[in-house]
Amino acid sequence: MTAISATEARANFQELINRAEYKGERIIIQRHGKAAVAIIGLDDLKLLEAVEDAIDSETLRRAIEENDGFTTLEAISAKRGNELTLQFENC
């Protein structure tokens, strides 16, 4: 992984985009000597988002298993359908 200063990144932005897009390079941009942001290719971003979604799904599954009082919006709506409809119509 390459690390460069924000000043250098500004001066070479198009090159950095090409390196991330075509070579799959991950580039860290530093501000005041500390990592601030990263430029990554779209494939890396999609992979990261898929991993986050998988983690979120697993967390939700565990929360449902551990919580006997868990309910869904659909269940509440089915239980109180007419009551909720009337409340929204009167707004």
**Res. 91: pLDDT tops 50:** no
**pLDDT tens-digit series, residues 35-75:** 999 999 999 999 988 888 888 888 777 777 777 666 666 77
Q: What is the mean pLDDT of residues 82-86?
A: 55
Contact 70/64 with Cβ under 8 angstroms? yes
C-alpha 91/C-alpha 77 separation (Å) is: 18
Give the per-residue pLDDT at 70.
66
Position 79, amino acid:
K
C-alpha 85/C-alpha 81 separation (Å) is: 6
Q: How far is CA 85 from CA 71, 74, 80, in A?
A: 19, 13, 9
**pLDDT tens-digit series, residues 9-27:** 999 999 999 999 999 999 9
